[in-house]
Homo-oligomer: A and B are copies of this chain.
Amino acid sequence: MDIEDTLLMIPGPVKVASRVLRAMSKPMISHRSADFGNIYEDCILLIKELFDTENDVVVLSGSGTCGMEAAVGGIIRKDEKIVTVTNGKFGERFTELGDRYGTAIPLAFPWGTSFDLDRVEAALEEGAKAVAMVHNETSVGMINPAKEVGELARKHDALFIVDGISSVGGNEFLTDGWNIDIAITGSQKCIAVPPGLAMVSVSKKAEEMLEDGKGGYYTDLKAHLKSARKSPCQTPYTPAVSLFYALQEALHMAAEDGFPERRKRMGRLAEGVRQAAAALEIELFPQPGQRSAYSNTVTAMKMPQGISDDQLRGGMRKRGVVVSGGQADLKGKIFRIGTMGVCTESDVLRTIQTLELVLEKEGVISSLGAGVEAASKSIDA
C-alpha cells in the first residue's frame, strides 16, 4: 500500500496535516535574519501557552531525547544525584542520562504500574539535586502523577524535570501549576509536526543552576536561552529552519482549534479506543490504580490470545493502518494505538475496523462490528 493511502496511528511520529507539510515548501531563509527571529518568537509565545508556563522556552533542533539530555546534562554534574522514577522505556532513558552526567538513583516500578509515592519521598530524603519522570509513558500508555511528584520535589528542594514528550498538548499538563522546572516535548507528538524539534521550558531556579562550559554542548540550555533573548531571536547553532516553518503553522492550527479543545478531542478518541478494546475483549495493558490514569494520547493493549504480533500488526499494515508494537520485554506482548495531534474520529474508526477485520480473519473474533460500534458511540457521546 502506498504511503499516501496509509494511516499512521503510532504514538509518534504522527500524521502531519497537509497545511503543515506545505509550510515546509517555503524557500530557505537565513537563520540569523529577522524573518527567522519572528518565526521563532511567535512559536515561543504559543509554546508557553501550550506548556501553561511563564518560564522561558527554547526550541532545540533534535528529537525529544535531545531535550531530555539538555535537561539532565544542564543540571547534573559528576558526583551529583538525580532520582529517576520509572515505569517504562522512556523513564529508563532518564536513568541512562543521569548516569552519563552524574549518578542516577533509579526508582524503577514494573512497566505500566503506578509510582509508589512513599518510595519517591524516601529517595528524595536521601538528598538529590533533581528528580526526573515521564508524564505520559508512551511505552505503556499511562499518565504518571506529575503534580504529586512535583509537590515532593518542592518539599525536598529538588529540581523537577518532566518528560512531557507524548503528553504536552494531549493530556492536561501544568508546567507552573505542578512546579516543573524543566519540561520537554517533541514536535512529532501532540503538535503533529514532523520529528526533529524539542521544546524545553526552563524555570528561573533551573536557569541559575546552569553553568558555562558544563554539560552537553549542542544541548547547552544556557547557550540556547542566551541566543533566544537576542534580537532577532536566534538559536546558538543552525536550526532546522523548515521544521520551524512547520512548527509555527501547526501551533497556529492548534490554537485555532483551541489547545483545550484539542486535548479534549484526543481524550475522546482514546476513550473510543478503550471502549472498542472492551467490546472486543482486549485487555488494556497499564494498571493505573488510584494515582495514575489511562493516557489520552496512546492506548496500550495486550496482544489477544490466538494471534501473533506479526499477524495483528502485519495484517493491519497490509490493510493500510500502521500501529505500534511493544518495546523491549513487551515486544510481541502488547500493541499500541496513538490518538495524538490531528488524528480524527474517522481515523480511529478505520483503525478499529481494520483491527476487527484482522482479528476475524485469524479467528480471534467471530463477527465484525462490535468494536466500531463501541468506539463510535463513545466518541460521539
Q: Are B219 and A218 in contact (CB under 8 A)?
A: yes
| Secondary structure class of chain A's binding surface, majority of residues | loop
A69 at the interface (CB under 8 A from B): yes
- Within A219-271, the residues touching B (CB, 8 Å) are 219, 237-243, 246
Q: Are B238 and A13 in contact (CB under 8 A)?
A: yes
Which residues on B sit within 8 Å (CB–CB) of A62?
Answer: 61-62, 66, 218, 237
- Report how far A14 CA is from B240 CA in the complex, Å: 12
Provided the pairs A66-B237, A217-B69, A238-B64 are in contact, do residues A30 and B8 lie with their beta carbons within 8 angstroms? yes
Nearest B residue to A18 by beta-carbon distance? B25
Q: Are A4 and B27 in contact (CB under 8 A)?
A: yes
Which residues on B sit within 8 Å (CB–CB) of A3?
Answer: 26-27, 29, 35
Quickly give the copy total for this chain: 2
Provided the pairs A3-B26, A29-B8, A61-B196 are in contact, do residues A186 and B238 lie with their beta carbons within 8 angstroms? yes
Partner of A97, one of B6, B100, B217: B217
A188 at the interface (CB under 8 A from B): yes
- Report how far A188 CA is from B242 CA in the complex, Å: 11
Q: Are A242 and B194 in contact (CB under 8 A)?
A: yes
Nearest B residue to A6 by beta-carbon distance? B27
A284 at the interface (CB under 8 A from B): no
A328 at the interface (CB under 8 A from B): no
Which residues on B sit within 8 Å (CB–CB) of A157?
Answer: none
- Report how far A29 CA is from B188 CA in the complex, Å: 11
Q: Please list the residues of chain A having a beta carbon within 8 angstroms of any beta carbon in chain B.
A: 3-4, 6, 8, 10, 12-16, 18, 21-22, 24-31, 33, 35, 61-66, 69, 73, 96-97, 99-100, 186, 188, 194-196, 213, 216-219, 237-243, 246, 322, 324
